[in-house]
Amino acid sequence: MKKNIFIEIILIILVVAAAAVIGTAAGRKVNKPQESAKPKILYYRNPMNPQITSPVPAKDQMGMDYVPVYDEKTQPAGAAKGVYVSPEKQELVGIQREKIGKQHLEREIRTVGRIAYDPELYVAQAEYLQALKAKDLTVDSTLPVIKQQMDSMIAAAEKRLLLLGMSKDQIKELAQKGQPQRNLYLPEEGDKAWVYIAIYESDIAAVKEGMPVEITAVAFPGERFEGKIAALTPVADPVTRTLNARAEIDNPGNRLKPEMRVDVVMKGDPEEALAVPEEAVVDTGERQVVFVVKPDGYFEKRDVKLGVKAGNYYKVISGLSEGEEVVTSGNFFIDSESTLR
């Protein structure tokens, strides 16, 4: 009886020992994949100076933690989310953000101009009117060659006016009035002044006939003179890379004198559009990028396509959606982090 009890005790001990061995082995099998999946840190890098590294965790003179540099084969899965910046570092760098939404965009174009002194255009207008009169005088001619010559003269004179900056509507109005515009070279009392405005290439698409114009002159501080764009020249200046716009401006008291320099402000039609703050855009010259805020301290570097700039905002054409959050301060720090990693 005692012998049987002894044998049972030995069997129980053997079973418990075997179970412990099996459990340990199973535990090792489960843990092995976790150990192999653990990210491998190669070294630590100074966050402000990538040339300074450390084999162990450290802090720089500002108290910022050194950034771990991982083996690419074992980097954390979160790396695919973008660039990670710890909350402490975000606060230290001063990272700020703003949600993307629709804005009331009203583009303001500022440039320079001059009060017209253009005897060449005045003479061209006079020649055009003379060609029209000559055609009227030969209207009864039975010789086809005379009519052809008159038509050729009028077409050539009209082409010259177009090249000098008049629109087709202005040429029709000129033909109806039958008098060249004397305010092109010597305005008289009651005449409006012509202003020639330099339109830079970046603004050409936004400037249109009929757009309101406001000018100021150093000679009359605090005063504003208003008018509208009447025409745009069809050819850009090869030296200044600008297009010439002609605007007719109210000139009370005939104070605006030919060849005076003026400052010009033009405002485009307002629109509601998705817009991103100017501070959020990193412009490399070849591409424009922003950093989109992601969960858990990550920032995604994203290419965007932007339209015109109005005030402190760019119109978003593609790359961002309403409600997304972008970095408006500290983006150059994040950009350096993304480049270094």
Q: Are residues 225 and 143 in the same domain?
A: yes
Domain's final residue, options 267, 299, 314: 267
When divided into structural domains, the chain yields a total of 4
Give the containing element (helix H, strand E) for 216: strand 212-217
Range of the domain at 150: 109-267
Q: Are residues 145 and 57 in the same domain?
A: no
Give the containing element (helix H, strand E) for 282: strand 282-283
Q: Are residues 48 and 190 in the same domain?
A: no
Q: Are residues 195 and 147 in the same domain?
A: yes
87 assigned to some structural domain: no
Among 29-38, 200-209, 214-223, 244-253, whose mean pLDDT is lowest?
Answer: 29-38
Q: Is 339 left (phi over 0), alpha (psi -120 to 50) or beta?
A: alpha
Q: Are residues 160 and 242 in the same domain?
A: yes
Report the chain's terminal Cα–Cα distance, integer Å: 74
pLDDT tens, residue by residue, 21-78: 444 444 444 444 444 455 677 788 777 676 788 888 888 877 777 877 766 555 555 4
Tokens of 204: 């050409």
Given pLDDT bands bounded at 50, 70 and 90, which one contains residue 8?
A: low
Give the containing element (helix H, strand E) for 332: helix 331-340
Coil, strand or helix at 54: strand
Given pLDDT bands bounded at 50, 70 and 90, which one contains residue 181?
A: very high
Residue 298 belongs to a domain with what CATH number?
A: 2.40.420.20
Q: Are residues 224 and 288 in the same domain?
A: no
Q: Are residues 228 and 146 in the same domain?
A: yes
91 assigned to some structural domain: no
Q: Are residues 225 and 309 in the same domain?
A: no
